[in-house]
A and B are shown apart, each in its own frame.
Chain A
């Protein structure tokens, strides 16, 4: 099983700016002083050794994550702005003549999680089937409203693909495309739902836009059970813990610290920090990753928990 991240930002897309690119160039050129870069291989090696925040970017698209299993199943979590590039990739792979079925799992219906759908090319291909799985009964209305005038020029009813809304129930496991899929209610304005996907002995949990009150031990134990022995937990780590429990309390998001704790309680193998705060630059996100790895190291009481920070384009092999 592979997990591919198409959008990893929280709340709003955050494109890289010219000023940020210039800072990367300045840092790279400073690091290049005294180093011979007279061949493409030498340049590649030099770039590979730069800090991630200098050579690359975490990206700016909002939530969209693909689950790949080597079969012809197309599973996607959320349709944030990252869904546009995912859809372009699918169009390039299959063209308009090979109809596909897409299974979408919606954490919730806030704007940053649905905004990619009007720009999702598979919706414009006749013969494609798109099943939007959600625990929110109002999912269909939210998608139709987004397509309606004056927000978008193409009404939902004009989309050529067959689009169906499938109601899921929290706590009830469904068999979908060969996966065991279990939703869990999360603390977020208007509710959100995490999803646990299991297939062929592998397990990934997608848990974003979820605030945790870890002092409520029953709730904490419920999430530990939901994450139990997962190969990967994709986790909303938008804020520092201090912000999450003070000025941003009740904003519906969590922190890297809580992610580490819940994954350690659950015996999960990997924690992927996700739903990055849009005001954070690459260097800040890289620093959060470093600190989170240090936290895991000093609080470890058992097998190591691998810490990853999601970026647009990242592929994780489970």
Chain B
């Protein structure tokens, strides 16, 4: 199954939708696809990864999630995930990535939370 990444802007928060399956065969391509959005997520900006279309993620994909979290936090940005499918959420929790990422049930909740973060930072 292919992996696809697309982006939009909601209010003052970036939203990147990740669809398909991320494993050792396409994790590097996923990282390359994510990089432009990570670079813009700094100085108080927020980025929500919409995972509603993500069917599976392996350790290789989760490693890219870790790199993304480190990069964004180093640049004083904020990153979260939203709308995870139950399978992916369990993989996240067993891998202890729920300790790394803020998880939101809906995209609106994520956008609202990170949007507020931007306002607080900007103030």
B64 within 8 A of partner (CB):
yes
A residues near B97, Cβ cutoff 8 Å:
241-242
Q: Report which residue of B28, B56, B59, B66 has the largest number of chain A beta carbons within 10 angstroms of its beta carbon.
A: B59
If A214-B59, A217-B25 touch, whether A245 touches B66 (CB-CB below 8 Å) is yes
Q: In the complex the two chains form, is A246's CB within 8 Å of B59's CB?
A: no
The answer to the question of B27 belonging to the interface, with a C-beta cut-off of 8 Å to chain A, is yes
- Chain B CB within 8 A of A291 CB: yes
Interface size on B, residues (CB 8 A): 24
Mask of B87-115 contacts with A, CB within 8 angstroms, 1/0: 10011001111011000000000000000
Judging by beta carbons under 8 Å apart, are A257 and B24 in contact?
Answer: no
Output the nearest chain B residue to A297 by Cβ-Cβ distance: B90
Grouping DSSP codes into helix (H, G, I), strand (E, B) and loop, the A interface class, with mixed when no group exceeds half, is helix
Q: Give the 8 A-B CB pairs with smallest separation, nearest first.
A: A242-B96, A215-B60, A241-B95, A215-B27, A240-B96, A214-B60, A220-B24, A245-B63
Report which A residues bind B (CB closer than 8 A): 212-217, 220, 240-243, 245-246, 255-258, 261, 291-292, 294-295, 298-299
Contact B94 A294 (CB under 8 A): yes
Across the interface, which residues of A come within 8 angstroms of B64, CB to CB? 215
Q: Is B62 an interface residue (CB 8 A)?
A: yes
A245 to B95, CA, bound (A): 10
Give complex CA distance A222, B111 in Å.
41
CA distance A280 to B45 in the complex (A): 38
Candidates A215, A242, A256, A298; contact of B99 at CB < 8 Å:
A242
Residues of B within 8 A of A246 (CB): 66, 70, 100
Q: Which of B48-72 contact A (CB under 8 A)?
A: 56, 58-64, 66, 70
Residues of chain A lying within 8 A (CB to CB) of residue B24 = 214-217, 220, 261
Contacts of A299 in B (CB 8 A): 56, 87, 91
Instruction: For A215, list chain B residues within 8 Å (CB).
Output: 24, 27-28, 31, 60-61, 63-64
Task: Please pick, from A220, A243, A257, the residue contacting B94 in the complex, using a CB distance under 8 A.
Answer: A257
Give Cα distance in the complex from A212 to B24, angstroms: 11
10 interchain pairs, CB-CB under 8 A: A214-B63, A215-B27, A215-B31, A215-B63, A220-B60, A245-B63, A246-B70, A257-B94, A295-B91, A298-B87
Q: Among B27, B60, B66, which residue has its beta carbon within 8 angstroms of that of A242?
A: B66
Cβ–Cβ contact A245 & B87, under 8 A: no
Q: In the complex the two chains form, is A241's CB within 8 Å of B96's CB?
A: yes
Contacts of A298 in B (CB 8 A): 87, 90-91
Max chain B C-beta neighbours (<10 A), residue from A220, A242, A243, A291: A242
Across the two chains, which residue of chain B brings its CB closest to A292? Answer: B94
Is the Cβ of B59 less than 8 Å from the Cβ of A257?
Answer: yes
Taking CB atoms and an 8 Å cut-off, the chain B residues in 12-42 that contact chain A are 24-25, 27-28, 31
Q: Please give, as numbers and ranges, the residues of chain A lying within 8 Å of B87 by CB-CB distance.
A: 298-299
Provide the residues of chain B in CB contact with A257, threshold 8 Å. Answer: 59, 62, 91, 94-95
Nearest chain A CB to B79 CB, angstrom units: 14
In the complex, A261→B96 CA distance in Å? Answer: 16
> How long is the Cα–Cα vector from A299 to B86 in the complex, in angstroms?
12
A227→B72 CA distance, assembly (Å): 37
The docked-state distance in angstroms from the alpha carbon of A215 to that of B61 is 7
Given the complex, which residues of A lie within 8 Å of B58, measured CB to CB? Answer: 214, 261
Please give, as numbers and ranges, the residues of chain A lying within 8 Å of B90 by CB-CB distance: 294-295, 298
Nearest-CB distance from A277 to chain B (Å)? 13
Nearest chain-B residue to A214 (Cβ)? B60
Known: A215-B63, A220-B60, A242-B100. A295 touches B27 (CB 8 A): no
